[in-house]
Amino acid sequence: MRGRHREHGPPPSCGVAERGAAKRARTAVVLVALAALLAGLGLWASRSEEPDASGDALPDNAASGEPPSGPCAPDDTLVPACGAWWGAYVPYAGNGSLKDAVLGFEKRIGRKLDLVYNYHDMSGTELDGRLLTPDEQELGRDRLLMLAWESTVWTEPHHEDWTETQLGWKNIASGTYDEEVLDPQIRRIRAYGKRVFVSFDQEADARIKEGAGTPEEFVAAYRHLHDRFRELGADNVVWVWTVSGYLGSAAEMKALYPGDRYVDWIAMDQYNYYRCHDTTDWKDFLRSQQPSYEWLRANVSDDKPVMLAEFATAPDADDPARQRDWYTRIPTDVKKLPAVKALVHWNRPPSEEPACDLTVNDGPGLDGYREAGRNGYFHQPVPSR
């Protein structure tokens, strides 16, 4: 995640309290430990039902109006019929506003995004731990939202330094966090009304190394979360299963799949890092995506739609036009990956090194990305509900 394969990321974080012998004792121990952790980080926030803790009632629907109809209307799981969604992850603006960040990005690229991708932890805090912030609700009125929900507590706001504490997949699966952590956010999504993409612990294959648990525990946690949404009546969720796509983790990725019943889309995060990670191999868009795409289709599902949940290219300092051309090739090349129905640009660098600048905020990268986004293949009717 975050514009990097997680195998290049920070070392694993420590977990939270171990389970006791009895379920009630185990639940109390873990929740007390979590509360102490969050309080120590200054992150503990009170929770309530609708309306939310800020006093702002959630809307019954994100927007009014009838869903789009006709031959290009998306289906119930938000698969567009005639092309693909054009989306992005955009970090919060300096003033703390996601809305300002997204509107500023859209002004630069010369179009409205179809899909806005944002990340949340399980701290319950106002911005990072509360699904569907006021900014997300407003942006969602005429855009799709995708919420990546991590079973972690971030050490810094917006995960600025990438450090976190794992809550543990076995604890999610056991129901330890249902009442205090999961249920309040599930009710918020239910109240939102509009269909929303949800990705639980994206790049799960890399999280194994970070101490989240085993593939079997992830499958149990994913299924539990999915079923918990259903139990609480939040049937407006489109489920996205996201792995890194790194083929060195092929066995893990295959073992992490929770099954077709629990998944609407499969997704991957692949990049052309070029010299960002000490390589000299420039991969054009198709070569950066096609191997993992074909593996997922052959080994996980050959009928689920595919989302490029994070993608981008690093620049080539010796040939700046190369970055522009990488993006301008996308409308042609993505049609060779016909199951890809959404492309989400990662607009944040994984480090301060110029070679790792994955953004398209200016220069040749912006020129190429703007041109690609004008293509009719990426202009689909966005549903209002």
Residues that are catalytic:
203, 310
Q: What angle do CA 83, 269, 379 make, to 5 degrees?
A: 20
Q: How far apart are CA 212 and CA 218, in angstroms?
A: 8
Q: Are strands 152-154 and 164-166 parallel, antiparallel or unpaired?
A: antiparallel
Would you call the peptide bond into 51 cis, given omega within 30 degrees of 0 as the criterion?
yes
> Half-sphere exposure of 264 toward its Cβ, with a 13 Å CA cutoff?
20
Residue type, 34: L
Assess contact for 262 and 222: CB atoms under 8 A. Answer: yes
Assess contact for 144 and 85: CB atoms under 8 A. Answer: yes
Assess contact for 200 and 149: CB atoms under 8 A. Answer: yes
Assess contact for 92 and 105: CB atoms under 8 A. Answer: no
Assess contact for 347 and 91: CB atoms under 8 A. Answer: yes
Residues 6+ apart with CB under 8 A from 105: 88, 90, 113, 347, 361
Neighbours of 134 (CB within 10 A): 17
Q: How far apart are CA 295 and CA 301, in angstroms?
A: 9
